[in-house]
């Protein structure tokens, strides 16, 4: 083996530090990228360059550094496989397609986890989702049907495809309106503590989900400003 190593050293005419420089550049370029898969592949290749350097160029191989780098490789491979698994296509039920398409950047299997944490319900009669000035325990999404929001004695309509209770979910505190839904309305609900744990575990899912809620909040703000002009105001 020592003869092989010496032959490699002899045939590799460039400075041995080239491996270190290439590995460092790999890390730098990787950490500058937003794409997690390419980042991990660059870090993986760079780590192998470090391992080659630790084994070939010192007088004796740096086994501690090599073993540490191999653990980094193993963790990186597991993380890369997890990303690839999340990107595999899955069948999404037609009833969930509108919310899936509205969550920009979400991976199919992340969406499955989100739906697994939700409860899909259809009302048998009039049902109240949130009460004004009370803290809701759930976040809701109107899948089919409208919501009637009441705030300060005034009413306005929340169309389907919108969240209910999102301001309380994002900012904390109490609901700012009472929202009722009529018989036959279908909706999704997430228990807030469970949803927060899920989003905390998957940062990409959290970004996509909170961006979707932010668009809802902006839309409701614009609607409320229009309603104020007509002497009818409300935000849920």
**H or E, element range at 155:** strand 154-158
Counting residues of the chain whose pLDDT is more than 70, the rounded percentage is 86
Q: Which of 38-52, 95-109, 157-171 is the least confident region?
A: 95-109
More confident residue, 205 or 230: 205
- Mean of all residue pLDDT scores within the chain: 83
pLDDT at 158 > cutoff 70 = yes
70 and 108 share a domain? no
Q: Which pLDDT belongs to residue 225?
A: 55
Cβ neighbors of 59 (< 8 A, separation 6 or more) are: none
180 and 106 share a domain? yes
Domain that holds residue 188: 94-229
CATH number at residue 135: 2.60.120.10
Say how many domains are in the chain. Answer: 2
37 and 53 share a domain? yes
Which tens digit of pLDDT belongs to each residue from 86-133?
Answer: 777 777 888 888 888 888 888 888 888 999 999 999 999 999 999 999
Which tens digit of pLDDT belongs to each residue from 22-35?
Answer: 888 888 888 888 78
Q: Which pLDDT band, with edges at 50, 70 and 90, does 13 fall under?
A: very low
Would residue 232 be called left, alpha or beta, if left means φ above 0 and alpha means ψ between -120 and 50 degrees?
beta
Q: Which of 9-13, 124-128, 164-168, 172-176 is the least confident region?
A: 9-13
Would residue 75 be called left, alpha or beta, if left means φ above 0 and alpha means ψ between -120 and 50 degrees?
alpha
Q: At what angle do helices 192-201 and 203-229 cross, to 10 degrees?
A: 130
Q: Which pLDDT belongs to residue 222?
A: 65
Q: Model's pTM, two decimal places?
A: 0.63
Single residue among 57, 87, 117 that ends a domain in this structure: 87
Q: Which pLDDT belongs to residue 93?
A: 82
Residue 234 maps to a domain = no
Single residue among 87, 116, 134 that ends a domain in this structure: 87
Single residue among 24, 57, 87 that ends a domain in this structure: 87
- Structure tokens given for 211: 């961006």
Rg (CA), the chain: 27
67 and 108 share a domain? no
Residue 156 maps to a domain = yes
The sign of the torsion formed by the CA atoms of 105, 109, 112, 114 equals negative
Q: Which pLDDT band, with edges at 50, 70 and 90, does 7 fall under?
A: low
Q: Which pLDDT belongs to residue 216?
A: 82
Residue 236 maps to a domain = no
18 and 110 share a domain? no
Which tens digit of pLDDT belongs to each residue from 48-83?
Answer: 988 988 888 788 888 998 899 999 999 999 988 888
Q: Which of 101, 47, 103 is nearest to 79 (CA)?
A: 47
């Amino acid at each position: 083996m020592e003869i092989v190593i010496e032959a490699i050293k002899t045939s590799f005419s460039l400075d041995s530090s080239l491996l270190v420089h290439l590995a460092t550049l790999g890390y730098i370029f990787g950490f500058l990228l937003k794409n997690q898969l390419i980042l991990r592949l660059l870090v993986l290749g760079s780590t192998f360059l470090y391992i080659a350097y630790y084994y070939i160029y010192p007088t004796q191989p740096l086994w501690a550094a090599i073993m540490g780098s191999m653990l980094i490789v193993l963790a990186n491979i597991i993380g890369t496989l997890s990303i690839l698994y999340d990107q595999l296509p899955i069948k999404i039920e037609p009833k969930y397609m509108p919310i899936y398409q509205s969550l920009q950047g979400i991976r199919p299997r992340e969406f499955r986890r989100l739906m697994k944490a939700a409860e899909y319900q259809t009302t048998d009669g009039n049902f109240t989702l949130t009460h004004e000035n009370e803290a809701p325990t759930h976040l809701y999404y109107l899948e089919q049907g409208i919501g009637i929001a009441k705030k300060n004695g005034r009413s306005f309509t929340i169309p389907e495809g919108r969240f209910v209770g999102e301001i309380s979910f994002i900012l904390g505190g109490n609901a700012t309106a009472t929202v009722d839904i009529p018989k036959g309305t279908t909706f999704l609900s997430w228990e807030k503590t469970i949803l927060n744990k899920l989003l905390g575990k998957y940062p990409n899912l959290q970004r996509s989900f909170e961006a979707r809620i932010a668009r809802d909040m902006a839309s409701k703000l614009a609607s409320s400003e229009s309603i104020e002009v007509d002497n009818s105001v409300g935000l849920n």
